[in-house]
Structure 1
Amino acid sequence: MYRSIFQAAAFLLIVLLAGPASAGDTIKLGALFDLSGPASFIGTPTKLVAEMVVDKINKEGGVNGKKIELVIGDTEGNPAKAASIAKKFIYKDKVAAIVGPTRTGSGMNIKKIVEKAGMPTFMTVGGDPVIMGGKFGSYAYVFKSPQRSSIAVKRLYMYLRDKGLTKVALLTAADGFGKDGARWLKKLAPEYGLTIVAQESFGPKDTDMTAQLTKIKNAAPQAIICWTIGPAGAIVAKNKVQLGIDLPLFQCHGLPDPKYIELAGKASEGDRMPATKLMVVDQLPDSDPQKPVIKNFVHLYRDVYHYDKQFPINTHSGYAWDAITIVANAMKKAGTDPKALRRAIENTTGYVGVSGTYNITPEDHNGLDVDSMVILQVKNQKFILAD
């Protein structure tokens, strides 16, 4: 009798320790993106991709027989709202992991929350501070799928060096993403023989940058580097042409998107920027291990789910796919115990994804290098590999 009671108690303890995150036949995965607000053009298709990859995983047997259940949250572009959703995911919904958010500011606002709770979180933000320590706080449980800003800067600077350019001007947004870019642009410039002759900034919601561009023109750079996401980048392109500034414009890795060409129009012609290989998959050599992975992604996105009709593929499109796939692969190995899951994610090596081949380490919670990026150029209102 006592043995039966003991066995029943032991079983109950196991169930309780397992927690709601993996209760029954599902594993809850929190997903928070900007579904409204200024970055909804990124957040909404990211949500659709999250649903697409979860559908694929579930159709293929899920995670050790359990289906993934997405719990969706809209940050509305508000870092405070993002924090509130993260707490809800952790303490009410009892998710096993979190994917998102969309922007660096929101990512930094939930970083302390998920670190304190020990919640594995795979972000889809561009900025590096979410996976930087020191003054930026610990990042034991935080990972991110987009390339680091530092990697994008290195890839861009490699191109500038190859073209023999030595003097550049910076024009960066005064938000978390823009400041992160400015940090790396200034820090890495000497390594690539570059001198920054002017540096200007603008509010991410500003609608005219002619004053900043006029100052930049007077500094006589050989090229202009703009670091922002959203409509502001297109405004810079148009203002440059309106001022008659005959200098090459380089945008950041957050702007390779048909929307950029649509907003900037003819002013975008010739503009260049670092990007994921997703944008030019048909121009990749067949020897590239990413090519079949990207082709499959594009087939599902365009031909099966038809998302491309409303949201044409852009450089952001694969981030949720890679984040969720890596998390699911780690769950298959380690289950949903937070500490074990964190370790499994951190030991991800050789994962060939849409955005690159990931080799995550304790020091690098992104795992992508410069070989995951290419330089694009706008030609005849389309993106092609830059010459």
Structure 2
Amino acid sequence: MKKLAILLLALLLLASPAIAADTIKLGAFFDLSGRAAFIGTPTKLVAEMVVDKINSEGGINGKQLELVIGDTEANPAKAASLAKKFIYKDNVVAIIGPTMTDTGMTVKAMAGKGKTPIFMTVGGDPVIMGGKFGPFDWVFKSPQRSSIAVQRLFDYLRAKGLTKIALLSAADGFGKDGARWIKKLAPEYGIEILAEESFGTRDTDMTAQLTNAKNANPQAIVTWTIGPAGSIVAKNKAQLGIDLPLFQCHGLPDPKYIELAGSASEGDRMPSTKLLVADALPDSDPQKAVIQEFIQLYKEKGYDKQFPINTHSGYAWDAIMIVANAMKQVGTDKAALREAIENTKGYVGVSGIYNLTAEDHNGLDTSSMVIVQVKDGQFVMAD
């Protein structure tokens, strides 16, 4: 009996490496709880959806992708702990996520130290900026850079003759990043910032900031935040009777924004991926077919019933697809994989057409974005 047990154990130990060799592990951590769970949870579902698609089509050179899922809980310390686990215990080939700029910055250096590519789904630019923000060699991100969203917004404002604005921004990493780019790029576009106000992401009233903004006599109000805070700004603006156009950032094109703000959101405009207005895209747009396939798969899974499609929906799809395409070229050696990701050219994704370089670990330009507007409780192309 003892000999049989030893033999079985030996067979299991011999079999384990073979089993492991048939799968490729990707770490994937998102805010599945906490203040950004409304973004993180559907992002996880999309990550699983795209991995299922890749595996059903033969995987990566005959091997199946396996996601190792973690919940960052909107907590930078938790994100750091998970990143360490992914790299040193789970031995993942690459990491997808996290959800928020602040948590992304916490794990940025860890990815570099562990020499593991990480493709983030965060909005802010510092994760892929060097200098005082630290090296970004191993870090990539799929959402448009804040700077690109600001440029797309400023193109629109200038075209509409709206050159005097008041700025309201959140006091977190994402809000500060947006404010930094707005102030830096404004002179290039002839935009004048007449007032600048800040608020906490958990604040429930922004009437003081909006009153100060109104008193500066701007032509428009620009807000930079994600989550419920943006809807609160819209509602407070309506309550105060402020008759000025409101522009939100690229993190808020989401049916949830309209649900929370109600009729106060009517007319609000913001830069967005093309995902929200897929039917309005011309057939000549290379992204249209990709976006339509994504929407079809998303609805077939039934995800849209709980998490309606929004501008964030495609970020995990694009991140995993780019990593998978790179692995098909060079395999799973981390250094080779990092270089292949960095040299991605012409990848047509849900969120844009990606052309990455050593200097730009995002690879999207302003042509990947449109300006959308709330009309009759729906997002449409802005006039």
Q: Contact 1:21/1:94 (CA < 8 Å) preserved in 2?
A: no
Q: Does 1:332 align with 2:291?
A: no
1:196 matched to 2:200? The reply is no
Letter in 2 for 1:348: T
Matched pairs, number: 368
The separation in 1 between residues aligned to 2:200 and 2:258, in whole angstroms, is 21
Q: Which residue of 2 aligns with 1:248?
A: 245
Matched, 1:382 2:378: yes
| Consecutive aligned runs of 4 or more in structure 1 exceeding 6 Å deviation | none
Whole-angstrom distance in 1 between the partners of 2:123 and 2:51: 22
Return 5+ residue gaps in structure 1 as ranges: 1-19
The residue number in structure 2 matching 1:156 is 153
SS at match of 2:272: strand
Residue of structure 2 in register with 1:267 after alignment: 264
Aligned CA distance change for structure 1 residues 22 and 107 (closer, same or farther; 3 Å): farther
Aligned pair 1:356/2:366, yes or no?
no
Q: Deviations over 1:92-138 (max 9, x none)?
A: 10000000000000000000101111110000000000000000000
Query: Deviation of residue 23 (structure 1)?
Result: 3.7
- SS of the residue corresponding to residue 311 of structure 2 reads coil
Shift of 1:21: 12
Contact (CA 8 Å) 1:22, 1:28: kept in 2 or not? no
The 3-state SS of whatever aligns with 1:350 is: strand
Deviation at 1:165, TM superposition (A): 1.1
Q: Paired residue for 2:315?
A: 319
Superposition pairs of residues 1-387 of structure 1, within 5 angstroms: 23-302=20-299, 304-387=300-383
Letter in structure 2 aligned against 1:119:
T
SS at match of 1:68: strand
Q: Indicate the SS of the match to 1:235.
A: helix
Structure 1 pair 208–21 and aligned structure 2 pair: CA distance change class (3 A): farther
Matched letter for residue 381 of structure 1: G
- Supply the distance in 1 between the matched residues of 2:26 and 2:18 (Cα, whole angstroms): 8
CA distance in 2, matches of 1:347, 1:195: 38
- State how far apart, in whole Å, the 1-side matches of 2:112 and 2:123 are: 19
Percent of aligned positions that are identical = 77
Shift of 1:22: 9.8
| Structure 2 equivalent of residue 14 of structure 1 | none
Report the Cα distance in structure 1 between the residues aligned to 2:21 and 2:115, rounded to whole angstroms.
23
For each residue in 1:213-246, what CA deviation from the matched residue of structure 2 results, as whole angstroms up to 9, or x when unmatched?
Answer: 0000100000000000000000000000000100
1:303-328 Cα offsets, whole Å, 9 max, x none, are x2110001000000000000000000
Q: Is the Cα–Cα contact under 8 Å of residues 102 and 125 in structure 1 kept in the other structure?
A: yes
Distance in 2 separating the partners of 1:22 and 1:85: 24
Q: CA RMSD in A?
A: 1.2
Tell me the SS of whatever aligns to 2:24.
strand
- Check the 8 A contact 1:21/1:27 in 2, yes or no: no
Cα deviation digits, residues 148-191 of structure 1 (max 9, x gap): 00000000000000001110010000000000000000000001
Q: Give 1:38's aligned amino acid.
A: R
- Unaligned residue ranges in structure 2 (runs of 5+): 1-16
* Cα separation, partners in 2 of 1:271 and 1:238, compared to 1, 3 Å: same
Q: CA deviation at 1:209?
A: 0.3
Scaled by the length of structure 2, what TM-score is found?
0.95
Q: Which amino acid aligns with 1:194?
A: I
C-alpha separation between the residues in 2 aligned to 1:250 and 1:79? 29
| SS across alignment from 1:93 | coil
1:288-309: CA deviation from partner (whole Å, max 9, x where unpaired) = 000000000000001x211000
C-alpha distance in structure 2 between counterparts of 1:331 and 1:21, whole Å:
19
In 2: Cα distance, 1:280 partner to 1:49 partner: 19
Question: Using a 3 Å threshold, how does the CA distance of structure 1 residues 21 and 269 change in structure 2: closer, same or farther?
Answer: farther
CA contact (8 A) 1:174 1:202 kept: yes
Provide the C-alpha distance between the structure 2 equivalents of 1:77 and 1:121, rounded to a whole number of angstroms. Answer: 18
